[in-house]
Amino acid sequence: MLKVAAIQCRIGDLDSAEILAEKALKDGAEIVLFPEYFSYTEINEEETNKTLNFLKNISREYSAVLIGNAVVEDKGLRNRAFIYDSGEVVGFQDKMHPTEVEKSLGVVAGDRLRIFELRNAKLCILVCADILYPEICRVAGLKGVDIAFNPVVSLKYSELPGRKFRYCLYFTRAFDNGYALVKAGGFGRTFTGNIAVGRSLIVTFEGIVSEAKDEECEEALVADIDIFKIREIRKKFYHLFNRNVKAYEELLV
């Protein structure tokens, strides 16, 4: 079993994030995911440094894996999810599908999905809107990912339909691709002035393992993920290995 946590904290409030993270870690969580832009009230270097020091220090203190996003300069701005293990950066994932707002701020897209092996599990990070693209979610499945982590900003008022059924998207992604999904969303006002809500959850292809009781309250979701069971059941998911690749050529256009 691998115990994971999704932190539903108040946006821009590191005290909120720290209290919840420490609660999850004391409950035995080995990997802790924070929401996208969880620490930002505005985009600047000071906020970035504060975020990275926060992740580094808690990760080191608890000898745990922490995943959190920061905006960094690297041939343009990157919305980058950093992985800290015991105080050291062991990997990162750039958001592959920046929003139009992010693009207007100069955020550029990452160009590939990275796979990480930590705590005897294969992991990936799908940053916020990346989860909306089934093709990249399938790439994760084809690469044998056990758990996909999804830090998000979920806007309270969205043009997208089906708000009450968004959890179905996460179950579908987990079922289609044979892995668990950990979604962490923050609540409050984002650095762009929009109101966000949490809607955090942990799900596998068997259903929802844990979900936030209230989308506008602090909560640390903690759950056990059975990596061995995921790998065994995935062997029966013939749609992952018995595919008619010829039929998908139009996706490359």
CB contact burial 177-210 (16+ within 10 A = b; e otherwise): bbbbbbbbbbbbebbbeeebbbbbbbbbbeeebb
List 204's β-bridge partners, or say none. Answer: 207
| pLDDT at residue 253 tops 90 | no
The pLDDT value recorded for residue 42 is 86
pLDDT tens-place string over residues 26-75 = 999 999 999 999 998 888 999 999 999 999 999 999 999 999 999 999 99
The pLDDT value recorded for residue 31 is 98
The pLDDT value recorded for residue 146 is 98
| pLDDT at residue 85 tops 90 | yes
Mean pLDDT value across the chain: 94
The pLDDT confidence band at residue 213, using thresholds 50, 70 and 90, is very high
d(CA 211, CA 223): 10
pLDDT tens-place string over residues 168-199 = 999 999 999 999 999 999 999 999 889 999 99
Q: Mind listing the domains of the chain with CATH numbers?
A: 2-252 (3.60.110.10)
Percent of all residues in the chain with a pLDDT value above 70, rounded to a whole number: 100
Q: What is the DSSP string of 133-177?
A: -HHHHHHHHHTT-SEEEEEE-EESS-SSS-GGGHHHHHHHHHHHH
pLDDT tens-place string over residues 120-138 = 999 999 999 999 999 999 9
Percent of all residues in the chain with a pLDDT value above 90, rounded to a whole number: 84
| Total count of residues recorded for the chain | 253
Check if the beta carbon of residue 37 is closer than 8 Å to that of residue 215.
no
Please tell me the least confidently modeled range out of 26-30, 113-117, 162-166, 219-223. Answer: 162-166
The pLDDT value recorded for residue 165 is 84
The pLDDT value recorded for residue 144 is 95
